[in-house]
Amino acid sequence: MTSKLLVVGSVAFDTIQTRAGKVEEALGGSATYVSLAASRFAGVNLVGVVGEGDFPQEHVTLLKSRGVDVAGLERAKGRTFRWSGVYADDFSSRTTLDTQLGVFESFDPKIPAPYLDSRYVLLGNIHPALQLKVLDALPRAEFVAADTMNLWINVTRPELERVVSRVHLLVVNDEESFLLTGERQVRLAADRILAMGPSAVIIKRGEHGALLFTRDSVFYTPGLPLPEVVDPTGAGDTFAGGLLGYLAGESAHDVASIRRGMLYGTALASYAVQGFGVTPLTNLTRAQIDSRYDEVRKLTSVEG
């Protein structure tokens, strides 16, 4: 039996500059990356908001063609969320040049009736009060993962702590884990987060991979060293989408499945960074994904 994945988060137009070039107003947003990655393994129900007049039908067609249900993609009066960023030449840092929230500013997720029995859920980095509202609407949720960002840790900590206490998996990067816990050492930060409630936490370390901590285990997925990076935007979202999509597709959330899902997430993220925007995610075959999965797995296998 497979389950569908419910994804809530931003849908955006991204303008991105890297040493490899520039794209303007490309389809992006964390929920878009998550959905296009997850839909390689499971059906996806997307809840988000775009502007009623500026979001091209071709983007909707693309999402639908990849198995993403867009009944929860609201069209509101105003402009679609726009984000713009530039990467350092060595990709070690990114500067946000512009954020225009548009209709995302007053986003109030509405879950269509057919999604209310969702069992697998990925709460993207929206206001924690909205993450809580979504959780309250899903009585059957069996495995919920949440993402967040510095802004919410700094500005809405009590609500964010309530979210953390109610999810099964928190996915953060090392800077966010430090902000949330005050601990610079990754093991101590993970222990603090696990003490807040989740049964698992993943701490992402950019190109260096990701660590999974449960109460009694630690697992590491390295990032695949690539000859050429074009655009790292959405790599973390792609990783999380691949992982959660795999779990929903398998209808499983035991530790071994989470580990396999992390390898799939890493494989998908390695493709995502090799082109601008979501384009690399749209035409991958299952054979390509499986071959990268093997490459990632072999990175830490003595036998090869």
Is residue 109 part of the contact set for ligand AMP (CB under 6 A)? no
Q: Beta-carbon neighbour count of residue 295 at 10 Å?
A: 15
Is residue 15 part of the contact set for ligand AMP (CB under 6 A)? no
Alpha helix segments (H runs only) across the chain: 30-38, 57-65, 128-136, 150-155, 157-166, 174-181, 186-195, 235-250, 255-272, 279-282, 286-298
Is residue 236 part of the contact set for ligand AMP (CB under 6 A)? yes
Say which residues have a Cβ less than 8 Å from residue 22's Cβ, sequence separation at least 6.
15, 16
Is residue 83 part of the contact set for ligand AMP (CB under 6 A)? yes
User: Residue 173 in contact with residue 206, Cβ under 8 Å?
Assistant: yes
Distant-in-sequence contacts of 155-160, Cβ < 8 A, 24+ apart: 156/127, 156/128, 156/129, 159/127, 159/128, 159/129, 159/132, 160/128
DSSP label of 71: E
Given the rule CB under 6 A, which of 9-17, 71-79, 113-121, 200-208 is the region that contacts ligand AMP? 9-17
Pick from 125, 148, 181, 266: which binds ligand AMP (CB under 6 A)?
Answer: 125
Nearest to 159 by CA among 122, 192, 129: 129
Is residue 160 part of the contact set for ligand AMP (CB under 6 A)? no
Is residue 18 part of the contact set for ligand AMP (CB under 6 A)? no
Amino acid symbol at 9:
G
Label the pairing between strands 5-8 and 94-100.
unpaired
Question: What is the closest distance, in whole angstroms, from the C-beta atom of residue 29 to ligand AMP in the complex?
Answer: 4
Please list the active-site residues: 237
Nearest to 78 by CA among 97, 60, 56, 105: 105
Given the rule CB under 6 A, which of 24-32, 112-120, 136-144, 252-260 is the region that contacts ligand AMP? 24-32
**Which x/- pattern, by CB under 6 A, does the window 30-59 give for ligand AMP?**
x-----------------------------
Query: Based on CB atoms, which residue is closest to ligand AMP, 49 or 250?
Result: 49
Is residue 10 part of the contact set for ligand AMP (CB under 6 A)? yes
Query: Based on CB atoms, which residue is closest to ligand AMP, 10 or 45?
Result: 10
Pick from 6, 28, 34, 135: which binds ligand AMP (CB under 6 A)?
Answer: 28
Joined together, the tokens standing for residue 162 give 């309530």
Amino acid symbol at 86:
V
Given the rule CB under 6 A, which of 8-16, 50-58, 68-76, 113-121 is the region that contacts ligand AMP? 8-16
Site for ligand AMP (CB under 6 A): how many residues?
Answer: 14
Helical (H) or strand (E) element with 5: strand 5-8
Pick from 6, 8, 14, 23: which binds ligand AMP (CB under 6 A)?
Answer: 14
Adjacent-strand bridge partners of 48: 73
Is residue 242 part of the contact set for ligand AMP (CB under 6 A)? no
Is residue 262 part of the contact set for ligand AMP (CB under 6 A)? no
Is residue 234 part of the contact set for ligand AMP (CB under 6 A)? yes
Give residues in contact with ligand AMP (CB under 6 A). 10, 12, 14, 28-30, 83, 99, 125, 233-237
